[in-house]
Amino acid sequence: MEPLYGPIRDYAWGSRSAIALLQGRPAPTDGPEAELWLGAHPAAPATVERAGLRVSLCDLVRDEPGQWLGQRVSDRFGTRLPFLLKVLAADSPLSLQAHPDAEQARMGFAAEAGRPETERNYSDPHHKPELLVALTPFEALCGFRPPAESAEALAAFGVPALAPVVEALRAGPAGLRTAVRTLLGWPAAERDGLLRSVLAAATDGPDADLARRLAAGNPGDPGVLVALLLHHVRLVPGEGIWMPAGNLHAYLSGCGVEIMAASDNVLRGGLTPKRVDVDELLRVLRFEVLHDPVRAPEPVGPGVDWWPVPVDDFALHRVRVDAAVPEVTLPLPGPRVVLCGAGSVTVDDGAGALTLVSGQAAIGTAAGEPLRVSGAGEAYVATSGLR
> What whole-number distance in Å separates Cα of residue 359 and Cα of residue 114?
40
Provide DSSP, 63-127.
Answer: H-HHHHTHHHHHHHH-SS-SEEEEEEEESSPPPEEE---HHHHHHHHHHTTTS-GGG-S-SSS--
From the DSSP assignment, how many helices (H) and strands (E) are in the chain? 12, 22
At residue 342, the 3 state secondary structure works out as strand
State the amino acid at position 202 in one-letter form. Answer: A
The verdict on whether 106 is a catalytic residue reads no
Q: Which region holds residue 320: left if phi is over 0, alpha if psi is between -120 and 50, else beta?
A: beta
Instruction: Tell me which residue of 34, 39, 41 sits closest to 17, measured CA to CA.
Output: 34
Active-site residue identified among 9, 145, 181, 268: 268
With 0-12 CB in 10 A as exposed, 13-18 as middle and 19+ as buried, what is 380?
A: buried
- Asked if 216 and 92 touch (Cβ cutoff 8 Å), the reply is no
With 0-12 CB in 10 A as exposed, 13-18 as middle and 19+ as buried, what is 176?
A: buried
- DSSP conformation class of 333: P
User: Residue 147 phi/psi, 5° resolution?
Assistant: -55, -30
> What whole-number distance in Å separates Cα of residue 157 and Cα of residue 208?
8
Active site residues: 268
